[in-house]
Amino acid sequence: MIFQNELLKNHTTFKIGGYVKFFSKPKNVKELVYVVKLSKDKNLRIIPISNGSDIIFPDYELNAIVIKLDEMKGINISDDIVEIFSGEGLPKLAIYLENYGLSGFEYLYGIPGKIGGAVCKNAGAYGVEIKNLLLKAFVVNWEGEIIELNSSELNLRYRESDLLKYGILYKAIFKLKKDNPENIRKRREEFSEIRKKTQPYGIPTAGCMFKNPSGNSAGKLIESVGLKGFRIGDIKISEKHANFFINLGNGKAEDVLKLMEIAKKRVYEEYGIILEEEVVIIK
């Protein structure tokens, strides 16, 4: 159940990351509690991931345990209330719930995350974010105890939350809106089309690198300082959307961080705007 020396680039959509000393994929809450308690006893740093689509691990070996929640699956529907386990992916969920005439997740359809990461980052798109849908979170805290939190206790805000102050989410309860499946499908397809036209698709990225500054677009700012297509090693700023960095094959975290610094510096020099990281950077 606990593996040693796992290569993290195999667990991120950016295909970046060196080895971590310990790695675990609990299948249920009992296993998760066990791993958290054991890690606590051994004084190990715990890093949860769900699909690794918003995280950059270092190239060097991490002295930690990465707990990947993608095998904790399950969806239980009761009228417009839905219980979803941490390892369920947003694209699959959107289609599944659409068939039940439940609206909310179609907005998040193109986000390649799973519920654990989506709650942690308050994932959102096209005007809807997790905060609008979440009622409760069930968490294994850092002591290995199960706790129940109301959505408001997580302080969900723009691509941030306080979830990691509490522990690891293993399931969440959402309240969705009833609608005709056909209407939901149309919205999902519409958002999906926009995404394919405006963002790099099906290649290794970690989504948006920076948050949009208030009233502005990080992508437009990076583009306007002439950095579209700029490259360090195998990491390149996307020609399609400058807030996405692409791994051309053998990209290194070190090069991602250098490129982020250059983008931040140029945008600051030109506009006096400080770009803030959206992607989670593990050091």
Ligand X SMILES: Cc1cc2nc3c(=O)[nH]c(=O)nc-3n(C[C@H](O)[C@H](O)[C@H](O)COP(=O)(O)OP(=O)(O)OC[C@H]3O[C@@H](n4cnc5c(N)ncnc54)[C@H](O)[C@@H]3O)c2cc1C
Which residues are near ligand X by CB under 6 A? 13, 47-55, 69, 86, 111-114, 116-118, 120-121, 123-125, 159, 163-164, 168-169, 205-207, 280
Which amino acid, one-letter code, is at 35?
A: V
Q: How far is the CB of 132 from ligand X (least distance, A)?
A: 13
Q: How far is the CB of 263 from ligand X (least distance, A)?
A: 17
Give, for 91, the enclosing helix (H) or strand (E).
helix 90-99
Q: How far is the CB of 163 from ligand X (least distance, A)?
A: 5
Q: How deeply is 42 buried, as exposed, middle or buried, from its count of CB atoms within 10 A (0-12, 13-18, 19+)? A: exposed
Q: How far is the CB of 267 from ligand X (least distance, A)?
A: 20
Residue 63 burial (CB count, 10 A): 10
Both tokens of 53, joined, read: 């689509």
Nearest-angstrom CA–CA distance, 214 and 78: 38
Which amino acid, one-letter code, is at 54?
A: D
Nearest-angstrom CA–CA distance, 216 and 92: 31
Q: How far is the CB of 281 from ligand X (least distance, A)?
A: 10
Comparing CB distances to ligand X, the nearer of 45 and 268 is: 45
Comparing CB distances to ligand X, the nearer of 59 and 129 is: 129
Comparing CB distances to ligand X, the nearer of 69 and 263 is: 69
Q: How far is the CB of 89 from ligand X (least distance, A)?
A: 8
Comparing CB distances to ligand X, the nearer of 17 and 255 is: 17
Comparing CB distances to ligand X, the nearer of 207 and 251 is: 207
Residue 238 burial (CB count, 10 A): 20
Q: Which residue in the shown chain puts its C-beta closest to ligand X? A: 117
Task: Say if residues 98 and 181 touch (Cβ distance below 8 Å).
Answer: yes
Task: Say if residues 103 and 178 touch (Cβ distance below 8 Å).
Answer: yes
* In 199-244, alpha helices (H): 218-224
Comparing CB distances to ligand X, the nearer of 200 and 233 is: 200
